[in-house]
Amino acid sequence: MSDYTHSLPSLLTAIQNTINDNADEVAQLDAAIGDGDHVINLQRGLDALSSMSDEFAQMAWSAAFMKIGMTLMSTMGGASGSLFGTLFVSMAKASKDKALDFAGFAEVFAQGVESVKQRGKADIGEKTMLDTLIPVSASLLSDAHHSVAVDIALNNAKTVAITGMQSTKNMLATKGRASFLGERAIGHIDAGARTSQLMICAIADHLIG
């Protein structure tokens, strides 16, 4: 990855497209076991980011991550707004004065996911976005450690994102609104796990292509 963020505007467009294309499905997922607003929250955050797209292209990664995180926190609302916001604010701190080659990025992302765990007091297996984010982070770290080629690592990240998202279907929820439903949450995929997977797959496809 280069020091500057030229690719951010087009990445952001790819992310918005995949969320918009799957908005009805995500709305239904959150309606089934939450309050139905997750995709609207996320679209509001992405719209705010897209209005700043040109600024991002001129920034260093750390500054861009910070601006993305602060913007998501102040515009999205919902549990997911503070959690996605935390992800990027933490990545901003971790990437300060750090070379963002593949291995560096994997470490920065892992730090961001760790902060989401702390903020949400949640871990893998609780039927949340973390069931997508944690396996992706682990896969990137492991592939970077073993010097796997970036395109292969991105494909691996897609695979584990999809498996992780699907794994939420048969889980009981122990965090978030779905936790109020007990056994009735079983059989539904978590909305935040799905949007996290969609965004990760869009980013990976964009970088591979």
112 lies in the site for ligand ADP, by CB under 6 A: no
In the 8-state DSSP scheme, what is residue 60? B
SS3 content of the chain, % helix, strand, coil (to 5): 75, 0, 25
Tell me the window of 29-37, 60-68, 102-110, 201-209 that interacts with ligand ADP (CB under 6 A): 29-37
| Residue 65, strand partner residues | none
- Residue 80 binding target from Mg ion, ligand ADP, none, CB below 5 to 8 Å by type: ligand ADP
188 lies in the site for Mg ion, by CB under 5 A: no
Q: Which H, E and C letters describe 90-157, residue by residue?
A: HHHHHHCCCCCCHHHHHHHHHHHHHHHHHHHCCCCCCCCCHHHHHHHHHHHHHHHHCCCCHHHHHHHH
38 lies in the site for Mg ion, by CB under 5 A: yes
183 lies in the site for Mg ion, by CB under 5 A: no
3-state secondary structure of 4: strand
Binder among 3, 35, 97, 183 for ligand ADP (CB under 6 A): 35
Backbone angles phi, psi at 60, to 5 degrees: -75, 160
The CA–CA distances, whole Å, from 9 to 2, 12, 70, 204 equal: 15, 5, 17, 15
For residue 26, the minimal CB distance to ligand ADP (Å) is 9
* Residues within window 81-110 making contact with ligand ADP, judged by CB under 6 A: 83
For residue 131, the minimal CB distance to ligand ADP (Å) is 8
190 lies in the site for ligand ADP, by CB under 6 A: yes
Q: Which residues here bind Mg ion, judged by CB under 5 A?
A: 30, 34-35, 37-38
Q: Which residues here bind ligand ADP, judged by CB under 6 A?
A: 30, 34-35, 37-38, 41, 78-80, 83, 120-122, 128-130, 175-177, 190-193
